[in-house]
Copies of this chain bind each other. A is one copy, B any other.
């Protein structure tokens, strides 16, 4: 590890050159602590605090963006060792392949994330290429064995205030339990992910509900018992610090039916005899139920809508999800959120944060809706919109209809722990470019800019996710 590691986070050589106006704004936010309200880090890391396996685990495998670009350029996932255990794969050869293609990431956020991570965490400032691949590999491989690169140390040196993981509703949170025993600098909390026990279209739905009954000691043979079991689980997650839930759905459809009708459909689903349309309705109803539970217990509800996952069938069959074949699709937010918002959207006490990768629906529908409904907040730019230009477009598209105060800050949404500082850094640079333009166009004054920069880079996330007691 390079000396003065922690100083490098946020104070190293700038990767991106900014105009003076943007640089001033950036300087005011670059050293802010990191709030990461949604991502896919493994809680085991914080429970066990063991070193990462190799550079491949750290930089290549956890990032769909890396895999998809390499795949698009003709590199097979086999050659990247996807699906092979760390001790069995040829890390150095994989890294060489990555390095040989690295220039093809130019213009994508991955390029900037990677360069920032290499420079600030590993002190590697030369552009990665085929010639220096082995040397870079060796340096990273050596560094990550140092205790300063163990998860606990990184959490501290990354200056992370709060990090939320994503956890199945059926998870016992054992890793979170274990992690809490350590005195971590930086709060690590779970997020309640109940889709597996909510969506009757899933093949394992019934088994999951049965497991839910066991875990909660509730009788899920009745609809009331099922709702009670869900309430119980939510409370369990809250006891371990969870402040939020999350749903992921390609389309978006919420509805609200009578409890009798919902109970009937639930019974059909458990009997395995529910029609596809009915299953869809029941899931839509359960989303509204979850929103109502949020109104009761205060958990923030996150909705990720508009990603068609696993569009490459052969790849999915061989390598599973998260390998780079997810594609945004069009979403109708007006109809999709109608039932839910008309039921629970009138209060500012409940927070529903909605994310979408569909830039046009975001601008047309979701941003104006977030500028109206008290309960609704607009999530940060989602998937494929994380580069500085995507961030600038997002803010340009939404601010005039939503305002800054109805945004939810930034979610890094990553399973690549090492890249978290770089991702927040790029967001902060994107925010700075946006705000510099707002000043230059006369939309905001200097005082506004400083306040809004701080909000976008930290405070809005704390407020939207109810993290104030953690920071």
Contacts and interface: CB of A to CB of B under 8 A. Distances in A.
Given A106-B403, A334-B327, A400-B384, A374 B73 contact: yes
Interface string A262-281: 00000000000000000000
B433 A441 contact: yes
Interface stretch (A64-72, A152-160, A227-235): A64-72
Contact of A72 (B14, B384, B406, B441): B406
A109 interface: yes
A52 interface: no
Contact of A308 (B334, B357, B371, B393): B334
B107 A444 contact: yes
A170 interface: no
Interface string A348-384: 1000000001111101110111111110100000011
Nearest to A377: B72
A375 to B, nearest CB: 9
B107 A365 contact: no
A39 interface: no
B403 A107 contact: yes
B368 A328 contact: yes
Contacts of A69: 371, 403
23 contacts: A17-B439, A72-B403, A73-B348, A73-B374, A74-B374, A106-B448, A107-B403, A107-B443, A108-B401, A108-B403, A311-B369, A327-B334, A327-B365, A328-B365, A329-B334, A359-B364, A360-B360, A368-B383, A385-B400, A386-B400, A388-B443, A393-B397, A433-B441
